[in-house]
Amino acid sequence: MGLTGAITAAVLVASTVVGNPPHIVQQVNLFASPTGTGTACTQTQPCGLAQAQQNVRGLVGQATGDIVVNLAGGTYRRTAPLRFGVADSGQHGHQVVYQAESGQTPTLTGARQVTGFTLVDATKNIYRAAVPISTASRQLFVNGVRADRDRSQNNPGGFSVSATGFTSAGWRTPTNCWAPRASSIWTVEPAGSTTSPARTRTWPPPTWNCR
């Protein structure tokens, strides 16, 4: 092969290498925090969780590696469930991962935060705070510790246990009545006779009230 042929072959080889670079896998890291703002989602400028999800959806189609959302510690308060669908899934064999940052404990919660408590009875250690009229809570936590809700004494008047279940009378608003099952799971019972997995509870006619 002459000099011209050798040069031509070298050019062809070089062209092949330049035109087909190796596939580079590059992981994308996003960062979110409970107080995050903006759209950068970087470690120095974390965004909120909802924004991080939006960024993920914009990246999955062109990602050349996994997309990892790192959650800083703290409480992420949600007014709606965090939903994942097809738009949140990795493509081309890559994954989308939501994980806690190293040494951090993120908490996602739909609980309503109640503030503005005032002491109304120091003897009984009773505090009061305003909540929206539509609030219907089954649990109460104070400083992260579960607390007892307002309730009557055990076996109050007008409430008795019979061979057929629980019987109550003379109370107001029966839909606000709560009774524990044998499994310690709280349930609300409407007026009339009802059957639960634990046992049948018998209630008097709907003319009675519960409060």
Residue 29 three-state SS: strand
How sure is the predictor about 68, in pLDDT bands with cuts at 50, 70 and 90?
very high
Answer yes or no: is pLDDT of 210 > 70.
no
The pLDDT assigned to 47 comes to 97
Are the C-beta atoms of 34 and 66 separated by less than 8 Å?
A: no
Residues in the chain: 211
Higher-scoring residue by pLDDT: 189, 15: 189
Q: For residue 64, give the DSSP letter.
A: S
Q: Rounded to an integer, what distance in angstroms lies between the CA atom of residue 27 and that of residue 59?
A: 11
The pLDDT assigned to 97 comes to 97
Answer yes or no: is pLDDT of 90 > 70.
yes
The pLDDT assigned to 209 comes to 35
Higher-scoring residue by pLDDT: 156, 48: 48
Task: Specify which residues 28 forms β-bridges with.
Answer: 67
Answer yes or no: is pLDDT of 87 > 90.
yes
pTM, 2 dp? 0.61
The pLDDT assigned to 137 comes to 77
* Span 118-177, pLDDT tens digits: 999 999 888 889 988 888 777 888 888 888 777 766 656 666 665 555 555 555 555 555
Backbone angles phi, psi at 131, to 5 degrees: -135, 160
Pairing of strands 118-121, 159-162: unpaired
Q: Rounded to an integer, what distance in angstroms lies between the CA atom of residue 177 and that of residue 171?
A: 9
Backbone angles phi, psi at 6, to 5 degrees: -65, -40
Instruction: Decide: residue 49, CB within 10 A, 0-12 exposed, 13-18 middle, 19+ buried.
Output: buried
Mean pLDDT for the stretch of residues 35-51: 97
Amino acid at 132: P
Question: Which strand (E) or helix (H) includes residue 38?
Answer: none
* Span 2-14, pLDDT tens digits: 544 443 333 333 3
Q: Rounded to an integer, what distance in angstroms lies between the CA atom of residue 124 and that of residue 134?
A: 27
